[in-house]
Structure 1
Amino acid sequence: MSNDAVRFDAREDGIAIITINQPDTRNALSRAVREGLFAAWQRFENEASLRVAILTGAGEKAFCAGGDLKEMVERQLQVPPRDMFPMLHDNIELSKPTIAAVNGVAFAGGWMLAQGCDLCVASTAAKFAITEVKVGRGSPWAAPLIHMIPQRIMMEIILTGKPITAQRAYEIGLVNRLAEPAALMDTAIELAKEILEGAPLSVKAGRETVMLATEMGRSAALQAARAAHEYAYCSEDAKEGPKAFAEKRKPVWRNR
């Protein structure tokens, strides 16, 4: 799939690279971009050969500058319909890992996209902000952020609307890895390849465990995590892993 608003590149190594391709509008979430992202995430989930997705923005200035304010004015938009914006873990459910590669500003809806990904790599030139208070809009999508950063830092970010640097985002735990701008995609791909080294069913169950742990108390999360891992424990790959270790070779994962 490839169109003017969102590019989809399926690599032979199992990595999908999804690029918001509207640099002239700082990759704002226009209707075309939103529709392109919904389609891209659906394709990623449905193609069995793809195991990790990287989301990024075209150009050097913006990952995504947020919603299209001109469109909001034209539509006289009040409360956005729940299906308006592509939100991972909300109106889009994926079973495979995602990485945000933030190359420039990630403001408002751009922060939302980066927050929704499982992991985040950022250029040292990137900036993050939840700017809705500056334009009288809201940021209910930011609620899960409390599982990523401390409460008082989250409070300041939302109440002031001021940007934070990539370095600050890394320090508070919003970003996993920093990279110089020219090395951003290489760093994101390197992280994706590290995930690809793991057994697919174990990666899936591990990802599910992290999500369960943010929703439940300790005992309930442990019980749910045991159930999530049962299929992985009983798989062919669970036999292949120890066998490959004993034979001092790389395992050959079959995802079954």
Structure 2
Amino acid sequence: MGRQRCGPRSCRGDSAPRQRLIETELTERYGTTRFVLRNALTRLAGEGLVELQPNRGARVREISAAEAIEITEIRRAVEALVAARAAQRASPDDIAALRARGAAMTTAVEQLALRKAGRQRGIDRQAAEISEALHLPQLRQAPLVEDAMGRQALALLATLNAECDKRRPAHPDYEVITSFPGTGDLSGGRLLAEIGDDRARFTDARALKAYAGSAPVTRASGRTIKISTAIMSPRPRPRPRPRTSPSRGPRVCKSGNR
């Protein structure tokens, strides 16, 4: 029972990485005994959610960047499959519920935009009017004309995709650049344009990170550790010093008197 309460809480992100799990607080929060709580922590440690440290207790395990990337890739594949299966097996009631939830989310976004714009009264009515106006058919043509225009657009897109497929793998670093997490053909082309093709431009990976401003910077303060990205900024130019005139002696009059 203690594991069923502690486990989902850690998975939801309610506990921060490397956060200490104090037994007295957990027993009071979940209304259980220390024996049950320790068994739950042991099982969570076996699942990789908690770290048990000798003479120091338990803490939430910190997920590395490599694990986060793997989890994201797995979730992307699984969620796409689940969404496809749900779309195939959805009943009319499920479809109606999803449409109602989508409409509610759209209305909430429109109301938030109106509030940010400074509107204070009649927000619900204005949001409903905006949603209705956006869902009205616009710039419609005859069905035969729309079908011809759609076929022409699909043919142009197919030609463009075929030309892009011919030119993409031509670069020798195509597979390396597109293998980066979150990098596709479009973002890979932009990345290549920023870095360039000269392999002698950067001596090592550290020089490339410094150029990209992606070298990690760790800031520690007490128990808090924050890893952020260094942002490179141009150095300010030194201001020129004001010129000082040399000290002049006493002026001499033409007559020779000082």
Q: Which of the pair is proportionally richer in helix?
A: 2
Q: Indicate whether the TM-score tops 0.5.
A: no
TM-score norm. by structure 1 comes to 0.19
Rg: which structure is higher?
2
Query: Which structure has more RCO (C-alpha within 8 Å, separation ≥ 6)?
Result: 1
TM-score norm. by structure 2 comes to 0.19
Q: Which of the pair is proportionally richer in strand?
A: 1
